[in-house]
Structure 1
Amino acid sequence: MRTSITIDEKNYELATNAYTPIAYKEQFGKDYFQDLFSMVNSQAILAKLDQLEEGEDLQAHHIDVSILSDFDMTFFHRLFWVFAKSANPRIKPFMDFFLEMEEFPVQEVAPVLMEMLNQGMMTRKKQMKQKQRARKSSQ
């Protein structure tokens, strides 16, 4: 899946593909899917982001501190960068990439990233079902 998002009047191309987990592991030394599953366990913060009105910022008082105990806020940064890297393997290294950004609006970025994750997972589920059907009919 490919999409783009504009932050501070700069357009960022994002993509998910077969390279995405490899780039993630290569850059961060962590397993892409393990981090995703850890993120899914922190759905409470995403629910809070979804409840915000347009133009409203997420404030500390909106969040119960207990839901942040297992949540890594740099996850969105890592995910954003790896999707940008998947779209363009020649982007700047992680630190340089973010040093050039004035802001990183998580409340705007998170829904785009989550949509890309959902699309990627749905595609994989469909492919798995098709392979299983093919195996069953050939047996």
Structure 2
Amino acid sequence: MEKTIEIDGKQVKFKSTAATPLRYKAQFGKDYFSEILKMEELAKLKKSKDASKALSLIDFDTFYNLIWILAKTADSTIPEPLEWLDTFGEFPLMEIMPQIQELTITCIQGKKK
């Protein structure tokens, strides 16, 4: 699955494939699915109106890592995460994440019949 969104005036392509979880582990040394499940727990806390607890549990590195790995999957020429992020003046995580949320879970879910 692929998607292109605008970030800081640039068109950025994102892609999720069957290799995305393995690429994530190779790059960051963490399990892709565990990271996604942590985000799901945060979403549950947010719905329960316990925002202060949810905020204390957020590891923003996970958001940056997920965004980067999906961009890297779409474009193998992008540089390492810090170099890539330095190419943006603004990087609104809370606007980007909802737009790529579907891509983060395509490796977990099957197609609906």
TM-score (norm 1): 0.70
Q: 1:102 corresponds to which residue?
A: 89
Distance of 2:92 and 2:18 partners within structure 1: 27
Report the structure number with the largest CA radius of gyration.
1
1:12 aligns with: 12
CA distance in 1, matches of 2:106, 2:23: 19
Displacement, 1:44? 5.1
- The aligned residue for residue 104 of structure 2 is 117
How many residues are treated as equivalent by the alignment? Answer: 111
Q: How does 1:42-121 map to 2 (within 5 A)?
A: 42-43=42-43, 64-121=51-108
After TM superposition, give the deviation of residue 110 of structure 1 in Å: 1.1
| Distance in structure 2 (CA, Å) of the matches to 1:119 and 1:87 | 15
What are the Cα deviations for residues 66-122 of structure 1, in whole angstroms up to 9, with x where unaligned?
A: 212221122221111000011112211111001111111122101112122344433
Unaligned runs of 5+ in 1: 48-62, 130-139
Maintained 8 Å contact 2:46/2:54: no
* Aligned-pair identity (%): 33
Output the amino acid matched with 2:29: G
- C-alpha offsets along residues 13-49 of structure 1, whole Å, 9 cap, x if unaligned? 00000221121111111010111111110005766xx
Letter in 2 for 1:112: Q
Secondary structure (helix, strand or coil) at the match of 2:11 reads: strand
Name which structure has the greater RCO, CA cutoff 8 Å, separation 6+.
2
In the alignment, is the contact (CA less than 8 A) between 1:23 and 1:85 conserved in 2? Answer: no
Give the alignment's Cα RMSD to 1 decimal: 2.2
User: For residues 120 and 12 of structure 1, what CA distance do their matches in structure 2 show?
Assistant: 20
4+ residue segments displaced more than 4 Å: 44-47
Which whole-Å CA distance do the structure 1 matches of 2:46 and 2:26 have between them?
Answer: 27
Instruction: Show the counterpart of 1:27.
Output: 27
* Partner AA of 1:117 in structure 2: T
